[in-house]
Amino acid sequence: MSVLAALVRRDLLLALRQGTGAGTALGFFLTVMVLLPLGIGPDQALLQRIAPGALWIALLLSVLLSSDRIFQADYEDGSLELMTMGPAALEIVVTMKGLAHWLATGLPLAIAAPLLGFLLNLDPGQIVPLVVAMGLGSVALSLLASLGAAVTVGIRRGGLLVSLIILPLYVPVVIFGVAASAGAGAIDIATPSLLILAAIALVALVTVPFAAAAALRAYMH
Amino acid sequence: MKIEKYANPARFLAVQKVVQPWLTAASVVLIAAGLWLGLAVAPPDYQQGETVRIMFIHVPAAWTALMVYTMMAASSIVAIVFRHPLADLAAKAAAPFGAVFAFLALATGSLWGKPMWGTWWVWDARLTSTFVLFLLYLGYIAVWQAIEEPTRAAAIARIVAIVGFINVPIIKFSVEWWNSLHQPASVFRMGKPTIDPSILWPLLVMGVAYSVLFAALEFSALRNEVLARRIRQMEIAAAQGS
């Protein structure tokens, strides 16, 4: 257990102290929210209608943008290879790194989303469902991003390739995430959409580590 | 047993040499027959008129696109389980054809949509999931192109193909859910059970024709892949001076 905690702690510290983690993703999130009304016009009713979808798309892009940090640096300086020789299986290492990415990126963005939602005239009744849905959905987003990062870890400038491979896998998360965010209000947030979103996150949690670890092994042998 | 028997690339080349002309001839005959049945024999639809004939190009293309992706995922699994030397190459060779079939389905669907729905593109559930399938193909092809080392590229491409395949039904289900939320009365009206035999038969012939065409293309592309790998090995041997 202490190995796992150490892995998460290390990645979180790196994300927080390097300045390329949560801060950058949050800044990107904010930028999209500022650009969007400038692009489509300041109509309050329209902004309110598209606010949950816009926040979800910004969340998705922020997660994707920060995904190369999950394995790239560790692969290049060889610490990933050391981790494969450690006491924990590579699948566990991958899971922990995915969760650390979620803690450093997905969760802060989910918490910040309602604040940025005010810029888009977000309906106050949607705040709780949005935060819950984003908190859950970003688990799946981070894990899938770690799969994309693993698959492209040895490719220089693999950023575009990550989006091409991972965006189709994000389709279900976005659909059910947005549906859950439009929930019936603070009292009844356990909508079918939210439950399916949770199911997607759980399935990702048990399947992604194996695929991602297999990809990392292919690069390291 | 069978798999081990055909694991030998040299044996595949021998089989391919015999089968190829037959496959090519069969695909030409079947496509000619299917087009004739679809474009000349089948009656025009009472509502859609002559534009319904686009269906004979469009629907089998969508079927074949799905079939090719299934085949790619299956050979990726074979590559992992049996270490079959041709399985990766078979999936690699199939991907561009699958992408073309998916694109054909999208393009003809768009051409059909303009006179029928009055627009080139509708975010209908089927259109969206075919489009996502097209993106999955592009991602798979991009992996092969981005990674220079063939064995490494094969290992990564397998993972991408299998993960994508697991997601195809999930994407299809979620897109249908999404569409039903946003668009209760869909413009897409083509009741499967109500399809008339006079239209169904040309459609099935075209479906078989596309499958045979894919098989013919796949065989010759796989032959090229085997030969390309052989050339690469010879070049490496020559460069090492042995």
Q: B189 falls in which pLDDT band (50, 70, 90)?
A: very low
Q: What is the pLDDT of residue B114?
A: 80
Question: Is B29 inside any structural domain?
Answer: yes
With CB atoms and an 8 Å threshold, state whether B170 touches A172: yes
**B49: helix, strand or coil:** strand
Q: Which of A136-150, B75-89, B163-177 has the lowest mean pLDDT?
A: B163-177
Contact A102, A139 (CB under 8 A): yes
Q: What is the pLDDT of residue B193?
A: 47
With CB atoms and an 8 Å threshold, state whether A147 touches B136: no
Q: Which residue matches tokens 């045979």?
A: B212
β-sheet bridge partners, residue B45? B49
Question: Is B172 inside any structural domain?
Answer: yes
Question: Is B177 inside any structural domain?
Answer: yes
**Taking the model in full, what pTM does it have?**
0.86
A residues 144..183 contacting B (CB < 8 A): 147, 151-152, 154-155, 158, 161, 164-165, 167-169, 171-172, 175-176, 179
Q: What is the pLDDT of residue B95?
A: 95
E-state strands within B84-234: none
> Is B77 at the interface with chain A, CB within 8 A?
no
Q: What is the pLDDT of residue B220?
A: 92
Contact B38, B206 (CB under 8 A): yes
Contact A109, A59 (CB under 8 A): yes
Asked if the ipTM is above 0.90, the reply is no
A70 pLDDT above the threshold of 50: yes
Cα–Cα distance for residue pair A196/A191, rounded to 1 Å: 9
Q: What is the DSSP letter of B43?
A: P
Domains: count for chain B:
1
Name the residue type at position B182: H
How far away is chain A from the Cα of B134, in angstroms, using its nearest Cα? 10
* Percent of chain A residues past pLDDT 70, beyond the cut: 94
B181 pLDDT above the threshold of 70: no
Q: What is the pLDDT of residue A207?
A: 92
Q: What is the pLDDT of residue B183?
A: 44
Q: Which of B12-26, B109-123, B176-190 has the lowest mean pLDDT?
A: B176-190
- Which residue of chain A comes nearest to B143, CA vs CA? A161
Question: Is B7 inside any structural domain?
Answer: no
CA-based nearest residue to B207, from B74, B35, B52, B91: B35
Q: What is the pLDDT of residue B166?
A: 87
Cα–Cα distance for residue pair B4/A213, rounded to 1 Å: 28
Q: Which residue matches tokens 């479906």?
A: B207
Query: Under 8 Å CB-to-CB from A133, ≥6 apart: which residues?
Result: A177, A180, A181, A183, A193, A194, A197
Question: Is B50 inside any structural domain?
Answer: yes
Cα–Cα distance for residue pair A154/B26, rounded to 1 Å: 44
- Mutation target to probe the A interface, by most A beta carbons within 10 A, among B152, B158, B159 is B159
CA-based nearest residue to B109, from B125, B97, B85: B125
Question: Is B110 inside any structural domain?
Answer: yes
- Mutation target to probe the A interface, by most A beta carbons within 10 A, among B77, B178, B179 is B178
* Percent of chain B residues past pLDDT 70, beyond the cut: 88
* Percent of chain A residues past pLDDT 90, beyond the cut: 24
Q: How far is CA A21 from CA A56, A219, B22, B131, B200, in A?
A: 19, 24, 59, 33, 56
Name the residue type at position B91: A
Burial of B153-166, coded b for 16+ CB within 10 Å and e otherwise, reads: bbbbbbbbbbbbbe
CA angle in degrees (0–180, nearest 5) for B105-B111-B113: 95
B38 pLDDT above the threshold of 50: yes
Query: In angstroms, what is the C-alpha Rg of chain B?
Result: 20
With CB atoms and an 8 Å threshold, state whether B160 touches A161: no
φ, ψ (nearest 5 deg) of residue B49: 70, -145
φ, ψ (nearest 5 deg) of residue B6: -95, 5
φ, ψ (nearest 5 deg) of residue A14: -60, -45
Q: Which residue matches tokens 């849905």?
A: A133
Range of the domain at B107: 22-184+198-239
Query: Under 8 Å CB-to-CB from B7, ≥6 apart: which residues?
Result: B82, B84, B85, B86
Question: What distance separates the 2 farthest-apart alpha carbons in chain A?
Answer: 57
- Residue B12: in which H helix or E strand, if any? helix B9-36
Give the pair of three-digit tokens for residue B236.
């490496």
Q: Is the dihedral of CA A83, A87, A90, A91 positive or negative?
A: negative
With CB atoms and an 8 Å threshold, state whether B146 touches A211: no
**B84: helix, strand or coil:** coil
CATH number of the domain where residue B93 is located: 1.20.120
Query: Under 8 Å CB-to-CB from B217, ≥6 apart: which residues?
Result: B97
Question: Is B3 inside any structural domain?
Answer: no
Give CA A217 to chain center in angstroms: 23
Q: What is the pLDDT of residue B34?
A: 87
Write out pLDDT tens, residues B194-231: 566 777 888 888 999 999 999 999 999 999 999 998 89
Q: Which of A22-26, A58-62, B74-78, B142-146 has the lowest mean pLDDT?
A: A22-26
Please tell me which residue, A185 or A154, carries the higher pLDDT value: A154
Question: Is B106 inside any structural domain?
Answer: yes
Write out pLDDT tens, residues A78-137: 888 888 887 888 899 999 999 999 998 889 888 888 888 888 888 888 888 888 899 999
With CB atoms and an 8 Å threshold, state whether B171 touches A171: yes
Please tell me which residue, A6 or B197, carries the higher pLDDT value: A6
Query: Under 8 Å CB-to-CB from B167, ≥6 apart: which residues?
Result: A168, A169, A172, B136
Contact B104, B23 (CB under 8 A): no
B42 pLDDT above the threshold of 80: no
Give the pair of three-digit tokens for residue B96.
């561009």
With CB atoms and an 8 Å threshold, state whether B142 touches A167: no
With CB atoms and an 8 Å threshold, state whether B178 touches A214: no
| pLDDT averaged over every residue in chain B | 84
